[in-house]
Amino acid sequence: MTMRLRNALSLSIVALFSLLFSLFSLTAARAVATTTCDKDAWQCTEWGACSGESRTRACAMVNDCPNVETPKPAEREACVIGAKGCTSDTWSCEDWQACDARGGQHRDCRMTIDCDGVQTVKPVTDRPCPTLQCDQPDMRDRLSCRLKLEPAGLDREDQIRYMPELCRPMAVKAEQDACVALERSLEPCRKKPLFDDRIACARGVIALEGDLKEKVVACKEMDEPAKGECLADLRKKVYDLVRFRLGDLKDRAAGLLNAGAPFEVVVDVAVAVEENRITFTNATTQDGRVTAVKGVRAAWQTFLLHSKPYLR
């Protein structure tokens, strides 16, 4: 590799890094915790003993979801007292309901025969979702699905299978595994409330702390082949931080849902961010990477334009 090309590559690292941190106007994107609900939450006591031909329980609302009217669960049901000498209660359970936004499933079970003097363990009525909720073939559908989940639901999805959109298209398993490992290691950084803390955390995970220009100079002072290896490693770390920085905008947009940002507008920017992160990864030229960064910039500006009238 010629000295001119080597210098151009080292300069391109700094140039791309500087471009990234100057492209975005983030003043409207304060972090807001995303919480959604689609039904009121009721909590009921266990059913009492069978008396005559019925039994009762008490139910109270523990979370009143705005603009939603969820019927109060039944507080009385029919039952049958078991014949003398029966040895176990009989329970009847409905099918498991669809997984909810918290990543759980519920079913209702009721005792149909109450055996006098016997306490039969009630069947399990709540369990974690056994399968993914957001594994649709289309990226937009997957992202839309994940945006509707609460933090517990997202955690459950990732417990079942952690596969970020950035890593999903990778055909070489070793590359995909490395991508997944890096993205997973960056998850704690994404959860920090302040932008500067998120970036500092990501720099630490990626091992890109300190002054970038000084790192480039230090690499260039080495002899070959160490110089080339040092610059290549530095370039990779910068690209990793760029991808994290782009993904942070998607998280910020999702955080504004509860502040009034229109759902489909948030989905639009989420898709644009993920598509351009993939484009950035696959780019083979500096121009291609810059184009991907600018694509996210344009999507972010569109998001702000369409969201500002609704933000509270």
Ramachandran category for residue 260: left, alpha or beta (phi over 0 → left; psi -120 to 50 → alpha)? left
- Is 98 within the bounds of a domain? yes
Residues 205-214: contacts with CB under 8 Å, at least 24 apart: 206/182, 206/237, 206/240, 206/241, 206/244, 207/237, 208/234, 208/237, 208/238, 208/240, 208/241, 212/13, 212/14, 212/17, 212/238, 213/14
- Is 83 within the bounds of a domain? yes
- Is 3 within the bounds of a domain? no
Q: Is the domain of 200 the same as that of 272? A: yes
Q: Mind listing the pLDDT tens digit for each residue in 11-43? A: 455 555 565 555 544 434 444 344 456 788 888
Residue 93 backbone phi and psi in degrees, to 5: -115, 140
Q: Is the domain of 124 the same as that of 177? A: no
* Structural domain containing residue 83: 42-128
pTM of the model: 0.76
Q: Is the domain of 88 the same as that of 179? A: no
- Is 77 within the bounds of a domain? yes
Q: Is the domain of 113 the same as that of 206? A: no
- Is 249 within the bounds of a domain? yes
| Full pLDDT tens readout for the chain, 312 residues | 444 434 444 445 555 556 555 554 443 444 434 445 678 888 888 877 777 778 888 999 888 888 788 889 888 887 776 666 688 888 899 999 999 999 999 999 988 888 877 888 899 999 999 999 999 999 999 999 999 999 999 999 999 999 999 999 999 999 999 999 999 999 999 999 998 999 999 999 999 988 888 888 888 888 899 988 998 999 999 999 999 999 999 999 999 998 999 999 999 999 999 999 999 999 999 899 999 999 999 999 999 999 999 987
Residues 6+ positions from 90 with CB-CB distance below 8 Å:
82, 111, 112, 113, 115
- Is 157 within the bounds of a domain? no
Q: Is the domain of 285 the same as that of 189? A: yes
Measure Cα distances from 96 to 74, 100, 109, 128 in Å: 18, 11, 10, 11
Chain CA centroid to CA 197, Å:
19
Q: Is the domain of 120 the same as that of 181? A: no
Q: Is the domain of 166 the same as that of 303? A: yes
Q: Is the domain of 168 the same as that of 114? A: no
Q: What is the pLDDT of residue 184?
A: 97
Q: Is the domain of 172 the same as that of 121? A: no
Q: What is the pLDDT of residue 256?
A: 93
Q: What is the pLDDT of residue 269?
A: 96
> What CA–CA distance (Å, rounded) separates 269 from 21?
18
In the chain, the number of structural domains is 2
- Is 7 within the bounds of a domain? no
Q: Is the domain of 287 the same as that of 184? A: yes
Measure Cα distances from 115 to 49, 86, 96 in Å: 10, 6, 26
- Is 18 within the bounds of a domain? no
Q: What is the pLDDT of residue 54?
A: 82
Q: Mind listing the pLDDT tens digit for each residue in 181-209? A: 999 999 999 999 998 999 999 999 999 98
Q: What is the pLDDT of residue 83?
A: 63
